[in-house]
Amino acid sequence: MATTSSRAPAATLALHVEKHVHYITTLDTAKDTLSYHLSEHLRINGVYWGLTALHLLGHPEALPRDETISFVTSCLQPCGGFSSAPGHDAHLLSTVSAVQILATIDALDTIDTTLVAKWVAGLQQEDGVFAGDEWGETDTRFLYGALNCLSLLGKMELIDVEKAVEYVLRCWNTDGGFGMAPGAESHSGQIFTCVGALTIAGRLGEIDGEMLGDWLAERQLANGGLNGRPEKLEDVCYSWWVLSSLAMIGRLGWIDKEGLVGFILGCQDEKKGGISDRPNDEVDVFHTVFGLAGLSLLGYEGLQEVDPVYCMPRSVTKRVLGN
Amino acid sequence: MYQERPEWEDVIPLPQDDGALPLAQIAYTDEYAEAMSYLRALMAKDEHSERALEITEHIIEMNPAHYTVWLYRANIVFALGKDLRKEVEWLNEKALRHEKNYQIWHHRQLIIDKLDDSTGEADFIAKMFQKDAKNYHVWSYRQWLVKRFGLWEKGELEYVEYLLEQDVRNNSAWSHRFFLVCGNGQELTEEIVQRELGYVSDNIFLAPQNPSPWNYIRGILQRAKLPMSRIEKTCTYYAPLDNPEKIKSSHALDILAEIYSTIPEQKDLAIQSLDLLSSTYDPIRTNYWNYRKTQIQKAAA
């Protein structure tokens, strides 16, 4: 049953920086398509993904700062939360993106950060987890999002961090991973949110990094790509969720770097730019940013350093968090 | 079009204001744009009415990922005292068509919680699993049902076994089994451990390289505070170190390395297992296997 590797050698592939910049800055030209208006609920997330990708590519100026601020502030609702686009309801995930965007372009002074932080803090539930909006759907994604944006705003004191940590630990499974709720199957995306939350809370010492690292390292397949759960297909976005988690627990070296770099580069659209989930699929901005962020964590030459906890340029989190 | 219908005459539609950033501008088809402008107008006055319900259905039909409209719909359904069974039926069709959608499942949870009755849910979930038996939203919802309605011993284990007969590599089903066996604070008696060891070894036999049953039994032994050596025989069967040509499972090698690393006089066997993993049976993780080797050497020094 010996395994053979069929991956393309990374050395023969290059990162198409200019093509990716062009792809991201011309995303709006596709706005008459059906898929574009159907992704309206992700609009502000899309701006965060595009902006972060441009910063990692070393082209922070490619998205006009004033227009970015004006769009983000037009999504601020009277309650203090941000919506995905003007005229929608506030949602935690949109609010996290808004704060990340403003932090990245050094424009947090354009909003009332106390109002925003209070709205986010108000979403914490009795058991420590966070809801996404007034509707009450709860998920470790929301818990991480809340800690992410409150730490960027410097307002962690508004929430019960201890209870949030307790909730995360209840989602910890015996295979070393985390699920979206206590007892739920381990999933790389949920692991990123739980490990990120523990890191922000300064409580990473509560978990067994050896066991978690074993589970995460097991996500790499013979073609170099990473999957999100056992017996599932590889996907570029897991290059981020798995790698960033390994980086946070200090075990990035357990991944075969050359194999993964080759897999991500092989998912580029060499003609129009952008990165897809796996080779020869349609590219999108979501997989583009997570592919680039993965390459950055792997130390790929020419990319800006990414912060594994926040998925933002490390230079930005250093400036905002002062560490 | 809403603007041509008399029952909408009193509503002044609120058009979308997209702001200036091109990357953020939203282009609509005319039908969607018109429906959204009427929805915004009704939401602005928080109207709970039949026509409001109708427009939520229209928009969900076009764009089921629009979370705001689901929230509004739930409020209307409860305010008007609508037949919740009918709402569930309507949802079934949506869920089957939009498998990756989160909102549908949260809405379902609100409705079923209010109904206070889970009759029919298992049948519907079975239909979802026919399409994708690893759907994370559906599994999360099923776990919520088990907790909310105390279904721990109401055929759940049998259902998991049925799914694993269909696909022994379904990690979600293995994870649900763990949730059922350990998630209710039950004591893991020797009888249960024996049952699980038997079930796992039958399933490993079908696919020795499937990681799920190996991870599963590791979790059970750990939870029961039993040593990993309880499965040593199974491991040596699938990974005979004295006959490496016959090795059929890298997971068996991995666990053997773990078992032997704790016994000083068997540490050479642990090293041999890890060498086989990095040279032949799982070379992509060479860095990790080497790390494990260094740990054993450090402990011995």
Instruction: For residue B82, give the CATH number of its domain.
Output: 1.25.40.120
Core vs surface per residue B119-146: b (16+ CB within 10 A) or e: eebeebbeebbeeebbbbbbbbbbbbbb
Q: Is B143 on the interface with A (CB under 8 A)?
A: yes
Q: How far apart are CA B215 and CA A186, in angstroms?
A: 11
Q: What is the mean pLDDT of the segment spanning B33-47?
A: 90
Q: Which amino acid is at A162?
A: E
Helix (H, G, I), strand (E, B) or coil at A124: strand
How is residue B36 written in tokens? 């959204």
Q: How far apart are CA A103 and CA A91, in angstroms?
A: 18
Q: How far apart are CA B192 and CA B217, in angstroms?
A: 12
pLDDT at B148: 97
pLDDT at A36: 54
Of B88-102, B108-122, B164-178, the range with the lowest mean pLDDT is B88-102
Which chain A residues have a beta carbon less than 8 Å from that of B281?
1-3
Q: State which of B115, B149, B180 marks the end of a domain.
A: B115
Domain extent at residue B67: 1-115
Q: Nearest to residue A212, comparing CAs of A245, A179, A165?
A: A245
Instruction: Please name the member of A28, A173, A217 whose beta carbon is closest to the beta carbon of B25.
Output: A28
pLDDT at B232 over 70: yes
Q: What is the mean pLDDT of the segment spanning B15-22?
A: 52
Q: What is the mean pLDDT of the segment spanning B178-190?
A: 93
Q: How far apart are CA A53 and CA A289, in angstroms?
A: 5
Helix (H, G, I), strand (E, B) or coil at A180: coil
Instruction: Examine the residue annotation and report whether B100 is marked as an active-site residue of this protein.
Output: yes
In this prediction, residue B20 has a pLDDT band, given cuts at 50, 70 and 90, of very low
Q: State which of B75, B95, B115 marks the end of a domain.
A: B115
Residue B175 lies in a domain: no
Count of domains for chain B: 2
Q: State which of B75, B97, B115 marks the end of a domain.
A: B115
Q: Own/partner pairs for B184-193, CB < 8 Å, 24+ apart?
A: B184/B152, B188/B220, B188/B223, B188/B224, B193/B220, B193/B221, B193/B224, B193/B226, B193/B230
pLDDT at B64: 84
> How far is A1 from chain B, CA to nearest CA, in Å?
6
Question: Which comes out higher in pLDDT, residue A94 or B15?
Answer: A94
In this prediction, residue B4 has a pLDDT band, given cuts at 50, 70 and 90, of confident
The residue of chain A nearest to residue B22, with distances taken between CA atoms, is A28
Residue B218 and residue A174: Cβ atoms within 8 Å?
yes
The neighbour count for residue A250, using CB atoms within 10 Å, is: 10
Which chain B residues have a beta carbon less than 8 Å from that of A132?
67
pLDDT at B22: 44
> How far is A322 from chain B, CA to nearest CA, in Å?
30
Q: What is the mean pLDDT of the segment spanning B29-41?
A: 84
pLDDT at A30: 54
Question: Which comes out higher in pLDDT, residue B31 or A304?
Answer: A304
- From the list B86, B100, B131, B246, the catalytic residue is B100
**Fold category of A10-321 in CATH:** Glycosyltransferase (1.50.10)
Residue B157 lies in a domain: no
Q: Which amino acid is at B190?
A: E
> How far is B250 from chain A, CA to nearest CA, in Å?
9
Q: Is A2 on the interface with B (CB under 8 A)?
A: yes
Provide the chain B residues 218-277 that lie in CB contact (below 8 A) with chain A.
Answer: 218-219, 222-223, 247-250
How is residue B141 written in tokens? 């919802």
Q: Which amino acid is at A8?
A: A
pLDDT at B24: 46
pLDDT at A6: 47
DSSP bridge pairs for A220? A226
pLDDT at B26 over 70: no
Residue B144 lies in a domain: no
pLDDT at A40: 61
Domain spans of chain A, in order of start: 10-321
Which chain B residues have a beta carbon less than 8 Å from that of A71?
19-21, 23-24
Question: Which comes out higher in pLDDT, residue A96 or B301?
Answer: A96
Residue A1 and residue B248: Cβ atoms within 8 Å?
yes
Question: Which comes out higher in pLDDT, residue B20 or A246?
Answer: A246
**Burial class for B174, CB neighbours closer than 10 Å (0-12, 13-18, 19+):** buried
Q: How far apart are CA B20 and CA B26, in angstroms?
A: 11
Kindly state the percentage of chain B with pLDDT values over 90: 78
Residue B146 lies in a domain: no
- pLDDT tens string, chain A, 323 residues long: the values are 655 444 455 557 899 999 999 999 888 655 545 555 555 667 899 999 999 999 999 999 998 899 899 999 999 999 999 998 887 778 999 999 999 999 999 999 999 999 999 999 999 999 999 988 766 677 889 999 999 999 999 999 999 999 999 999 999 999 999 999 999 999 999 999 999 999 999 999 999 999 999 999 999 999 999 999 999 999 999 989 999 999 999 999 999 999 999 999 999 999 999 999 999 999 999 999 999 999 999 999 999 999 999 999 999 999 999 98
pLDDT at B3: 85
In this prediction, residue B72 has a pLDDT band, given cuts at 50, 70 and 90, of very high
Residue B251 lies in a domain: yes
Contact B206, B161 (CB under 8 A): no
The residue of chain A nearest to residue B140, with distances taken between CA atoms, is A184
Residue B264 lies in a domain: yes
pLDDT at A4: 47
Q: DSSP label at A306?
A: E
Report the residue count for chain B: 301
How is residue A215 written in tokens? 């589970």
Residue B59 lies in a domain: yes
Q: Nearest to residue B141, comparing CAs of B162, B131, B126, B155?
A: B126
Q: What is the mean pLDDT of the segment spanning B80-84?
A: 97
Q: Nearest to residue A191, comparing CAs of A163, A156, A228, A232?
A: A228
